[in-house]
Amino acid sequence: REKKIFRTLVLGVILANTIMFVRILIEVFVINRVLLWELILPLSILILVCGVFSYLLWMKAKDAKGKVELSSPFTLGPALKFGAFFAVILALVKVADVYLSSKGVYLVSFISGFADVDAITVSLSQLSKGSLGLEIARNGIILAALTNVAVKGGIAYIFGDREKFGKIILLFYIVLILLGLGLMWLL
């Protein structure tokens, strides 16, 4: 049933990813405006690329007809899991920064990106107000976001229709990740 609307579903996934980049900027804005200036250019470029691709997909998918069954996103479990995950990430980032310097922060960012970007974004935003360098915090946040994109792309490819849905997302996410890594090291 969803095969008829695969472009619409791809559009939803790409837009959710775009919102992740916007959400990162909002979180950093609230916590550490100095760090925001470090992140605004690379994340804005990624947002723009996602926006252009989303528009092109929308032009092809706007007339698609079909149904998708959804469940309620409002439950207490995810909030409690985020709180616990945030505490663990904050502790790991602090320990990694003390004992492993920037390599440790990047390792924790990479690992945390497998599950979530909010906890590492909040942690690095807080820590970069003090002892953590802005460039390390910026790169850690971007690395976590790109890891999260890679995980989502892998999930889409493995569990989605590989010929249409998964293939489009995987190819787009590879381009997005390569662009993001380039921006991370060039800026």
Q: What is the pLDDT of residue 78?
A: 60
Q: How far apart are CA 59 and CA 102, in angstroms?
A: 43
Choose between 74 and 77: higher pLDDT.
77
The pLDDT tens digits for 88-131 are 766 777 777 677 777 888 888 988 888 889 889 999 999 999 88
Q: Band of the pLDDT at 68, cuts 50, 70, 90?
A: low
Q: What is the pLDDT of residue 59?
A: 86
The pLDDT tens digits for 19-61 are 999 999 999 999 999 999 999 999 999 999 999 999 998 887 7
Burial class (CB in 10 A: 0-12, 13-18, 19+), 108: buried
Percent helix / strand / coil, the chain, rounded to 5: 80, 0, 20
For the segment 145-158, the average pLDDT, to the nearest whole number, is 87
Q: How far apart are CA 185 and CA 109, in angstroms?
A: 16
Cβ-based neighbours of 31, under 8 Å, separated by 6 or more: 122, 125, 126, 129
> pTM score, two decimals?
0.81
Q: How far apart are CA 43 and CA 40, in angstroms?
A: 6
Name the phi and psi angles at 33, rounded to 5.
-70, -25
Q: What is the pLDDT of residue 91?
A: 77
Q: What is the pLDDT of residue 20?
A: 94
Could you tell me how far CA 24 lies from the centroid of its own chain? 8
Q: How far apart are CA 127 and CA 133, in angstroms?
A: 8
